[in-house]
Amino acid sequence: MAASLFENMLITGARYITNGSVHFVGFHWPMVMARVARRLHAPDAILVYENGIVEDRLTSVFPTSPCDLVAAEGATTCATSLDALYMWLGSGRVRTTLLEAPIVDRYGNVNTTAVGPYAKPKVRLPGSGGGTELGSIGHGLVLVNASTNRRSYPERVDYITSYLEGARERAALGYKPATGPKVLVNPLGVCRFDENGEMYLAALHAAVKLDDAKGSFGWPVRAGEVEALPEPTADELKIVREELEHAKRRYYLLPEA
């Protein structure tokens, strides 16, 4: 069976995790990407979770969240959230930061707080967790969004949970140059951010048409010289499907095929 767009997304995201480097991994699909990467090409990656666990090996049980203590199995460090967010993340000790961004706008602002007015929202979302810090001070920030629905990509989010607003404004507020969004990975492919911090289409997964991809965004998203992403190998597809089955057994809700 050919890879689904969702499986392509996980494999593409996993490629941003390199062997022997330190990566800060946020909740949900970034954790799946991290396990896929460790099994495929990055067995010696160092993964930092927001609760203070530092993992340098594949755990036998899939953690349901960064706070699941099965992630501490054989961990090199079990510290605190302050250690993770400031000693590791804030000090720039990580190469890449992976953050789930279920609602993200043209400048990479992420909303995990409320849809509609904050005081009387249409939907009250789970909130920040460590997302504010990851979005604000994380180096090499990779955003992950598993949706292709326009509602997930408004021109402007209703609430900014993770503050990322444009390269110039970030610089004026004193954020370090290496921070802020660099890449968005989703089932369509990969978006990047220009010198002003605006998102544009950079690469597409196989079978995704450019016009369809543009139609998934709530503004006239720009497209540069759009690359075609490589299709997954048989081994990559085998590993990602095994990890998704493992995730399902650990109560992850998977998208319908």
Length of the chain: 257
CA distance 189 to 203: 5
Residue for token pair 């007015």: 117
Q: Does 50 qualify as catalytic in the annotation?
A: yes
Instruction: Return the bridge partners of 203, or none.
Output: 190, 227
The span from the CA of 159 to the CA of 118, in Å, is: 7
Residue type, 164: L
In the set 7, 50, 55, 198, the catalytic residue is 50
Q: Which residues, including other chains, have CB under 8 Å from residue 199's CB and lie 6 or more apart? A: 106, 107, 108, 181, 184, 191, 192, 193, 221
* CA–CA dist 43, 14 (Å, integer): 12
In the chain, what are the helix, strand and coil shares in percent, each to the nearest 5? Answer: 30, 20, 50
* Residues with a known catalytic role: 50
